[in-house]
Amino acid sequence: MLAYVLWFHRNEEPAPSPGLVDEQDRLMLRKRRRLERQQREYVKVRDPLVKVALQGLEKLSAGVLSTVLLPATSVEAESVVSLYLLGGGASRVHRPPGVDPREALGGVVVQRIENQRLFKEFSRLGQENGDSSKICNTPRYREDVVWHGTRLKRVDGEGASLATKLQSIAEQGFDPQRCMKGAAAEGGIWVSTSPLASFGHGCDGLVAFVLCLAKTTFNEWVDATSARVLQRERVLPLYSLVHA
C-alpha cells in the first residue's frame, strides 16, 4: 500500500572551473607565505628587543622605579614600533596608497618601564626552591611576549588621563580587578600575542599598548592568542607605546 510520495530536486552548485581553483590556491599560498615572512620578521625584532630590556632590568639597583622616554629616532624605540606594526597594530589607521605603515602611523611616544621590584617578583615565579618534596607543587608556566591594550574611558572620572594610567601600570603593575570586562568574578589581566586590532581609541583620541612578558598557565588561555592572567606578579610591563 502506497502511503507517501516524496519529491525532491537536487540543486547542485556548478563546480568552479580549474582556472579559478588554481587562482584561489595561488592567492592562499601567497597569503600564507606573507604571514610566515611577517612572523619571521616579528621574531627577529622581538627577541633582541626583549633581551635588551631584560639585561637592563638585571642591572637595576634595588628599589629603582622609573619610566624612560625613548628618543623617537633611537633603535630601541623604532624596534618597539616595528614590533607593534608587524604584530598587526594600527591596522585601522588610514593609509593612502603608496604610504608605508610606519609613515601613516605618524608620531609615536615610546617609554621603557624600569621597575626593579616587579622584575624580581616576576623572575622568582616558578623557580624551584631546592626542596624536592615541593617540586611537584611548583606551577609550570608558559612564558610569552604579549601586549595589553589600555585607554582613557569616561568612567575613569574627571581629571584622569592616559598618562596617569600608564604611570600606575609602570609603578604597580596590572590590577586583575580592574580588567573585569568579559572576565570571571576574580577578574584577570587580558593579554594577547599581538596588539588587537579591535582595541579602539580612548575618549582622548589616543591608543596605548604595553609590551609585556607574561607567565601563564594552560587554563588561562581563552583561545590560541589571548589569555586572562589572574596574578599581577605574572605580567611584567617592559614598554608602553602611545599614538593617535
Q: What is the DSSP letter of 183?
A: -
C-alpha cell recorded at residue 18: 580549474
In angstroms, rounded to a whole number, what is the distance separating the alpha carbons of residues 243 and 99?
A: 17
Angle formed by the axes of helices 18-58 and 75-86, nearest 10°: 150
Question: Would you put residue 77 in left (φ > 0), alpha (ψ -120 to 50) or beta?
Answer: alpha
Residues 6+ apart with CB under 8 A from 8: none
User: Tell me, what's the pLDDT at 94?
Assistant: 83
Q: Kindly write down the DSSP assignment for every residue of 182-228, as one continuous string.
A: T-BTTB-EEEESS--TT----TTS-EEEEEEEEEE-GGGBSSSSEEE
User: Tell me, what's the pLDDT at 113?
Assistant: 98
- Specify burial of residue 62 (Cβ count, 10 A radius: 0-12, 13-18, 19+): exposed
Per-residue pLDDT of the chain (244 residues; tens, 9 = 90+): 667 766 666 666 566 666 666 888 888 999 899 889 989 999 999 999 999 999 999 999 999 999 999 999 999 999 999 999 999 999 888 888 889 999 999 899 999 999 999 999 999 998 754 454 455 566 789 999 999 999 999 888 888 999 999 999 999 999 988 765 554 566 789 999 999 877 778 999 999 999 999 999 999 999 999 999 999 999 999 999 999 9
What are the structural domains of the chain? 21-90+108-127+140-244 (3.90.228.10)
In angstroms, rounded to a whole number, what is the distance separating the alpha carbons of residues 188 and 227?
A: 9
**Contact between 195 and 211 (Cβ < 8 Å):** no
In angstroms, rounded to a whole number, what is the distance separating the alpha carbons of residues 142 and 214?
A: 8
Closest CA to 240 of 214, 213, 210: 210
User: Tell me, what's the pLDDT at 177?
Assistant: 83
Residues 6+ apart with CB under 8 A from 3: none
Closest CA to 229 of 185, 172, 191: 191
- β-strand pairing of 65-69 with 108-115: antiparallel
Angle formed by the axes of helices 116-124 and 18-58, nearest 10°: 110
User: Tell me, what's the pLDDT at 183?
Assistant: 47
In angstroms, rounded to a whole number, what is the distance separating the alpha carbons of residues 192 and 226?
A: 4
H or E, element range at 144: strand 142-150
In angstroms, rounded to a whole number, what is the distance separating the alpha carbons of residues 237 and 124?
A: 16
User: Tell me, what's the pLDDT at 132?
Assistant: 46
- Report the length, in residues, of the chain: 244
User: Tell me, what's the pLDDT at 18?
Assistant: 65
